Amino acid sequence: MHDAALLLIEVGAVLLGLSLLSRFADKIGISAIPLYLIAGLAFGVGGFAPLDAGNEFFRFGSELGVILLLAMLGLEYSPTELITSLKRSRLAGILDAVLNALPGAACALILGWGPIAAVALAGITWVSSSGVIAKVLRDLRRLGNRETPTILSILVIEDLAMAFYLPVLSALVIGAGFLAGATALVVAVLVVVVILYVALRHGKVISRLFAAHHPESLLLGVLGLTMLVAGVAQQVNVSAAVGAFLVGIALSGRVAHNSQQLLAPLRDLFAAVFFVFFGLSTEPASILPVLLPAAILAVVTIATKTLTGYRAAAAAGIGIPGRWRTGFALTPRGEFSIVIAGLAAGSGIEPRLAPLATAYVLLTVVAGPLLARMTDTAWFRRLLAARGTRAATIAQSVDGH
């Protein structure tokens, strides 16, 4: 069989299978990400039917998937919203980083993986999945809830923090000497600061380059600019994903709104390819030895992320039910965790890191939406009501004395 024909057959069969998995995930009320990862494990190295011809397509498609995921995240935020979020939730962002990065770092050190793997695993456990959380909020019709701005503020801070974290991790994993590594890091941070400054100060000027009401021109222009900046960012060790995220922030108004609608189908296609490719490059047998540490880490960081959201909502004056909704909504990890794991795995610093990250993301991305739905159940509401009554009774007795 010709190589081109085999490529079309493999890619077509995989995309058709992903369509069915996505439909099934939507029907049972979970994110499709874990199913995409499992599909990749099934058809990758050590799977029951490894792909041959489609590997290059999925490799390039996965890189484009990361770029589109982060560009779309950037389009969700205007420069004004970014600044407001930073001011409103900066303390919550610090608490979030401390509570959720430390367990990952501690886990890597306990397993004897070394300090660089500890920095990578800290990032994997720190950052929530904006894509999964946004979908959960839409599915549960909570976009208008009082706690939703708090959730989005924390996600904005995490996404922006990645613009500085990823260059640091990149400098560490390339194994350069101290001077070369420090120089690369300084250059990377300066590039991020310059792009962020242009995005915040001159975003409207950039938006005027595009015709908001001309779909073909807008799609080609925004996609071209995103890939161009992503490539330049990667060339200076910043990460293509961060460059794409900052381009998204720079665009505003009708251009940003229309770009979201045009890029959404491409994002969905190549994001699915991204998660499949990560599964393809992970051997299923390598997950079993790290399944227990991944499960323990998932339980611990689901608890710490819930505490993060609960405290942030409490500081914003939100009631107890809303605090629990905030905490549970933040628990899934996804796209950034896989990006970090892929970066670390590609450098060869620790072969067990990618399998652990795969298992960890699978566990949190399934548990998170289930926990988010739990707050709407009758038994959970009765539990909160009973605890509230008990607390009021105790307070009255104390006042009586």
Average pLDDT over residues 93-102: 93
Mean pLDDT of the chain: 82
Q: Between residues 30 and 284, which one has the greater pLDDT?
A: 284
For residue range 230-271, list pLDDT tens digits in order: 888 777 766 677 778 778 878 878 888 899 899 989 988 888
pLDDT at 299: 97
Q: Which conformational region is residue 319 in: left (phi greater than 0), alpha (psi within -120 to 50 degrees), or beta? A: beta
State the pLDDT at residue 2. 64
Q: Give me the pLDDT at residue 252, please.
A: 78
The model's pLDDT over 111-136, given as tens digits with 9 standing for 90+, comes to 999 898 999 999 999 999 877 787 78
Q: Is the pLDDT of residue 395 over 80?
A: no
pLDDT at residue 360, as a whole number: 94
Domains of the chain, CATH where assigned = 13-49+69-375 (1.20.1530.20)
Residue 218 pLDDT exceeds 90: yes
Q: Would the pLDDT of 361 be above 70?
A: yes
Percent of the chain with pLDDT over 90: 26
The confidence score (pLDDT) of residue 197 equals: 78
Higher pLDDT: 169 or 346? It is 169
Does the pTM surpass 0.85? The reply is: no
User: Which of 32-46, 74-88, 369-383 has maximum average pLDDT?
Assistant: 369-383
pLDDT of res. 97: 92
The reported pLDDT for the residue numbered 153 is 82
Residue located via tokens 């405290």: 311
Cα 219 from Cα 345, distance rounded (Å): 33
Cβ proximity of 345 and 62 under 8 Å: no
Q: What are 322-358's pLDDT values in tens digits?
A: 999 999 999 999 878 888 888 887 777 888 898 999 8
Confidence of residue 61 (pLDDT cuts 50, 70, 90): confident
Using the predicted structure, report yes or no on whether residue 296 has a pLDDT greater than 90: yes
Residue 82 binned pLDDT confidence (cut-offs 50, 70, 90): low
Contact 325, 348 (CB under 8 A): no
> pLDDT band for position 102 (50/70/90)?
very high
**More confident: 358 or 167:** 358
- Tell me the pLDDT tens digit for each residue of 17-41: 999 998 998 888 777 778 888 888 8
pLDDT of residue 339: 81
Q: Take residue 245 and report the two structure tokens written for it.
A: 């995220």
